[in-house]
Amino acid sequence: MPVIWAGVDIGKEHHHCVVIDADGKKLLSRRVLNDEAVLGELIDDVLALDADVLWAVDINHGGAALLIGLLLNRDQPMVYITGLAVHRASEGYRGVGKTDAKDAFVIADQARMRKDLGLLRPGDEVAVDLRTLTTRRADLVQDRTRAINRLRAQLLEVFPGLERALDLTNKGPVILLTGFVMPAAIRAAGVAGVESWLRARKVRGAAGLAAVAVQAAE
């Protein structure tokens, strides 16, 4: 069992590290630059407190990669606690608001109390695959968000009423825009015409969507 626990709240440019002992007493609290030399000094200072230390981080990629690499190169044991778990746990700790120092303390304390956290290991095949999949999913979500924002901006120029009426995060309204964009065309087709066109393309809630479109066009 470790003698001390070092929790690190990961940031893009800076991290905050808090070290506690078995009683939860704070031994060190420091904000450090995400820089190899500075992080090396931090690791040395923590090991000077006690060599038997368990490190814990709330992010296992991106801005945390340098710190994780340095720790693994020095054979330091390390666990990962999700940001969601840290957020939920922090509600049970006294303190005002959210700060990096508080989050780092929560990370260290959760690592001290929890026994269900797996150690981070370099080159873990499952971890690599999961990271690839989640990164790809994040890219797709961002691409879709950008496409919806561009579509909204363009629709706002030609048909503001319809832009306000449609939820373009749903499939049906997007399909509608592939056939009807201008108010005159929607008015000419009428509710029945728009509904029939949508049903032919298997859009759910075709009647309600057609009514919304015609109302906006009128």
Give the pLDDT confidence of 31-87 residue by residue, as tens digits. 999 999 999 999 999 999 999 999 999 988 888 888 988 898 898 999 999 888 888
Q: Which of 53, 102, 111 is nearest to 79 (CA)?
A: 111
Contact 39, 88 (CB under 8 A): no
For residues 54 and 14, membership in a common domain is answered with: yes
What φ, ψ does residue 80 adopt, rounded to 5°? -120, 130
For residues 58 and 162, membership in a common domain is answered with: no
Q: Which of 88, 94, 96, 134 is nearest to 114 (CA)?
A: 88
For residues 116 and 21, membership in a common domain is answered with: yes
For residues 112 and 156, membership in a common domain is answered with: no
Total domains in the chain come to 2
Model confidence at 109: pLDDT above 70: yes
How far apart (Å, rounded) are the C-alpha atoms in residues 128 and 132? 6
**Cβ neighbours for 203, distance < 8 A, ≥ 6 positions apart:** 171, 172, 175, 176, 209
Range of the domain at 36: 4-121
Q: Which of 125, 25, 97, 105 is nearest to 58 (CA)?
A: 105
pLDDT, averaged across the chain:
89
Instruction: Write the pLDDT tens digit of every residue in 193-211.
Output: 999 999 999 999 999 999 9
Instruction: Write the pLDDT tens digit of every residue in 169-187.
Output: 899 999 999 999 899 999 9
Question: pTM score, two decimals?
Answer: 0.58
